Amino acid sequence: MIFLRKRIMAIALASMILPGTVFAQQHISWWDFFVGGDGVRMKALTSQFNDEHADINIDATSLEWGVPFYTKVRTSVAIGQGPDIMSWHLSRLPLGLEEGVLSPITDHDLEVAGLSRSDFFPHAIEAASGPDGQLYAVPFDIHALVLYYNKRYLQGTDYLDASGRLTGIDSLEDFESAMAAAARNGSRVPLSYGTSEDAPVFRIFFTLLKQMGGILISPDGEILPGDSTAKATRAIEIMTHWFDEGWQPEQTSYEASVALFTSGEAAFMLNGVWEVPTVKDLAASGKLGFDWGVVQVPMLLDQPASWADSHAFAIPANARNPMSPQKREAVMTAIGWMERHSLEWAGAGHIPAYKPVAESSEFQQMEPNATYSALVDTAMYDPRSPIAGVASPVYDAAVNILAPAINGYLSPEQAIAQFKSELQSRQR
């Protein structure tokens, strides 16, 4: 009995002396949706962070992207069981705000992280802020639609300059004649993209709409207000024309559209920057079999614009289970560290949202990212609406109506009319 009491005393004493060294370690539970190339890089970053920080331990879980991810975080946060930090698409910020899932990022938080608002590209900060100007997420990257090209099919045309870079595409006519030239040079599919899928079709539609200065959803919730309906119709006409000419593949899945490019059948591919590592790795291992390049989407219509979104870090508003100030500091420390190490993340094709890295000489020399990084100035985020953004009704309408239309099932006018009424009915 005395022996037992002594042991208890010893343990109690030890726990009073040791906390500074052992028990103060902050465990951060971290949820993200990064898989594939993104997932590998994020895992490397978190484990490097853990190695460098004895007092903080990130316990990361990768979940399925899309509606399942956003449903899970929203429901778990509502009952106070959310993570301490999570990844978030800035295009889906309105949904998080509507439900009060996101904890505001204060200036003090940024200070702890060693960051300030002016460190980030204005478009990204704007997309990460609520209507009240309050910051609700810390942007990590900017990823956008870009144009990949296969030099083999452009050899001997006017569209490659002396050093083998894409040139001379300053209008829709130029782009279409480049596709025609590529077809004559033997490209079976001059322009590849996932013509049967929601996101690829939407991103191109939205880019074309924005290059005409169109508005998808006005701040007061009107779908394609005023002449934007005509502009949207024009965008679908353009995409349907590419189909009619046989330039874009019929009813193609995302994976098949990438395969069409990497197997050397396509002269161009319109896709996100995240496929850069795929092509880069194939080229590095000598399996690609052609020279390639990637540029920001050229100005095909009235003004430059590219569809874009950002991955960001957000802190859930776990109202039922509030975070201790110490943990919040640890979370912000992790966010700050990630931003300063976002050069590694750029290896997945992204452009860092954190300007000190994006403007560093290391990133300026990083190819092909540096070639298209100027697109951040004309990056166009999805409209600020709970029905827009990734995995949203807008994307559903894209696969439901726009994708079949550009494959010849519906006229552009009818498609846009249906698209409008469908989205109108989703708003309440």
**Judged by CB under 8 A, which of 58, 85, 95, 270 binds another protein?**
95
Rounded to a whole number of angstroms, the minimum distance from the CB of residue 3 to another protein is: 46
Interacting span for another protein (CB under 8 A) from 10-18, 124-132, 248-256, 296-304:
248-256
Nearer Cβ to another protein (122/246): 246
Pairing of strands 306-309, 141-150: antiparallel
Instruction: Confirm if 199 and 258 have CB atoms less than 8 A apart.
Output: no
**Judged by CB under 8 A, which of 58, 90, 407, 412 binds another protein?**
407
For residue 385, list its beta bridge partners.
none
For 293, which DSSP code? E
Residue with tokens 């910020």: 93
The tally of CA atoms less than 13 A away on the side-chain side of residue 207 is 30
Rounded to a whole number of angstroms, the minimum distance from the CB of residue 196 to another protein is: 5
The tally of CA atoms less than 13 A away on the side-chain side of residue 303 is 12
H or E element in which residue 61 lies: strand 56-62
**Judged by CB under 8 A, which of 375, 387, 406, 416 binds another protein?**
387
Q: Where are the alpha helices (DSSP H) in 170-266?
A: 172-184, 198-211, 228-244, 254-262
Q: Does 317 bind another protein (CB under 8 A)?
A: no
Rounded to a whole number of angstroms, the minimum distance from the CB of residue 94 to another protein is: 11
**Judged by CB under 8 A, which of 170, 250, 359, 362 binds another protein?**
250
Instruction: Confirm if 232 and 224 have CB atoms less than 8 A apart.
Output: yes
How many residues bind another protein (CB under 8 A)? The answer is 36
Taking residues 177 to 216 in sequence order and writing x for each that binds another protein by CB under 8 A, - otherwise, the string is: -------------------x-x------------------
**Judged by CB under 8 A, which of 399, 411, 413, 424 binds another protein?**
399
Please, which contacts does 112-117 make with residues 24 or more away whose CB atoms are closer than 8 Å? 112/328, 112/329, 112/332, 112/333, 112/336, 113/138, 113/332, 113/333, 113/335, 113/336, 113/339, 114/336, 114/340, 115/335, 115/336, 115/339, 115/354
Backbone φ, ψ for residue 25 (5° rounding): -60, 130
Q: Does 75 bind another protein (CB under 8 A)?
A: yes
Rounded to a whole number of angstroms, the minimum distance from the CB of residue 190 to another protein is: 16
Q: CA–CA separation, 156 vs 159, rounded Å?
A: 8
Interacting span for another protein (CB under 8 A) from 119-127, 239-247, 352-360, 384-392:
384-392
Rounded to a whole number of angstroms, the minimum distance from the CB of residue 420 to another protein is: 13
Q: Does 382 bind another protein (CB under 8 A)?
A: no
Q: Does 426 bind another protein (CB under 8 A)?
A: yes
Closest C-alpha to 376, from 202, 203, 143, 215 = 143
Rounded to a whole number of angstroms, the minimum distance from the CB of residue 404 to another protein is: 4
Nearer Cβ to another protein (265/329): 265
Rounded to a whole number of angstroms, the minimum distance from the CB of residue 246 to another protein is: 14
| Three-state secondary structure of 334-386 | HHHHHHHCHHHHHCCCCEECEHHHHCCHHHHCCCCHHHHHHHHHHEECCCCCC
Instruction: Confirm if 381 and 308 have CB atoms less than 8 A apart.
Output: yes
Rounded to a whole number of angstroms, the minimum distance from the CB of residue 422 to another protein is: 8
Q: Does 424 bind another protein (CB under 8 A)?
A: no
Nearer Cβ to another protein (98/362): 98
Residue with tokens 């190819």: 367
Nearer Cβ to another protein (142/189): 189
Nearer Cβ to another protein (126/396): 396
**Judged by CB under 8 A, which of 48, 61, 71, 134 binds another protein?**
71
Instruction: Confirm if 352 and 121 have CB atoms less than 8 A apart.
Output: no
Residues that bind another protein (CB under 8 A): 67, 71, 74-75, 78-79, 95, 98-99, 196, 198, 249-253, 256, 386-387, 391-393, 396, 399-401, 403-404, 407, 409-410, 418, 422, 425-426, 428
